[in-house]
Amino acid sequence: MKAIFLREFRAYFKTPIGYVALAILFFVSGFLFSAYNLWGGSSSLSGVYSFLLVGAVMLVILPVLTMRSFSEEKRQRTEQALLTAPVRLTSIVLGKFLAALLFFALGLCITFVYTLVIATQVTPDIMVILGNYVGMLLLAGTVIAAGIFFSSLTESQIIAFLTTFAFSLFLMVIDMFSSLFSSSEWMLKVISFLSVYGRYTSFTQGLINYDNVFFFLSLQALFLFLTVHVFDRKRWA
């Protein structure tokens, strides 16, 4: 797994994809910090994290980071060499997943600078800051795991990007379906249970609920398992 992880992580710095993702992350986060905190006079970074997540991370940055995970292997015809290598499929998938997650986490470190700027004016709430980082990484891990799965299904990076984009968009708007099923109590319970953005919002308020942590980790495990299963079938075929 270490070899796969290092290869994938280094690849983000050898191709334009990594730099494009970082540029978008830095630009959007910097603009939101200026608008909400510097110009708006707010001492809370929750608005930055919420809109950064919705506007850039889920819909653009993470789909960009994951669209080449396995699609590039298929396009360059290196997939078979990867599948026949003396490495467990789980290690291959986890190596790609952890490389994308670490790269995103390094890019997210820019927001720590904003925290230091706020700390010069007011005493920051440590739990709120911690909750924002934990929530962002958990939700990012979920989208990354889904993006890797979608990338394993096609050799087109564009299709992988669009399917991950559509999945992220669905996670964002699922709460809107509650108005359509207001008369169905069990449907409201299902929507409430699947409300990813609602679960994420609790983290931005400094509330680290273990049920929400388990929910995101379970989704990550599900998509990673499905990805392994896709290649397991191909290996035996």
CA 181 to chain centre: 29
Which domain range does residue 140 map to? 2-236
Q: How far apart (Å, rounded) are the C-alpha atoms in residues 23 and 189? A: 39
Higher pLDDT, 44 or 237: 44
Question: Computed over its alpha carbons, how large is the radius of gyration of the chain?
Answer: 19
Which pair of tokens denotes residue 6? 């290092």
Lowest average pLDDT, out of 28-32, 73-77, 153-157, 162-166, goes to 73-77
Q: How far apart (Å, rounded) are the C-alpha atoms in residues 218 and 196? A: 12
Contact indicator for 127, 206 with CB cutoff of 8 Å: yes
pLDDT number for residue 51:
66
Q: How far apart (Å, rounded) are the C-alpha atoms in residues 101 and 92? A: 14
Q: How many CB atoms lie within 10 A of CB 200?
A: 25
pLDDT tier at 162, thresholds 50, 70, 90: very high
Please determine, for residue 2, whether its predicted confidence score (pLDDT) is greater than 70: yes
- Which of these, 110, 198, 92, lies nearest to 151 by C-alpha position? 92
Please determine, for residue 69, whether its predicted confidence score (pLDDT) is greater than 70: yes
The number of folded domains in the chain is 1
Q: How far apart (Å, rounded) are the C-alpha atoms in residues 12 and 61? A: 13
pTM for this model (two decimals): 0.90
Q: How far apart (Å, rounded) are the C-alpha atoms in residues 215 and 221? A: 10
Which pair of tokens denotes residue 161? 């990007």
For the chain, count helices (H), then strands (E): 13, 0
Q: How far apart (Å, rounded) are the C-alpha atoms in residues 154 and 111? A: 34
Provide the 3-class DSSP secondary structure of residue 201. helix
User: What residue has token string 């078979």?
Assistant: 80
User: What residue has token string 């108005």?
Assistant: 179
Higher pLDDT, 63 or 78: 63
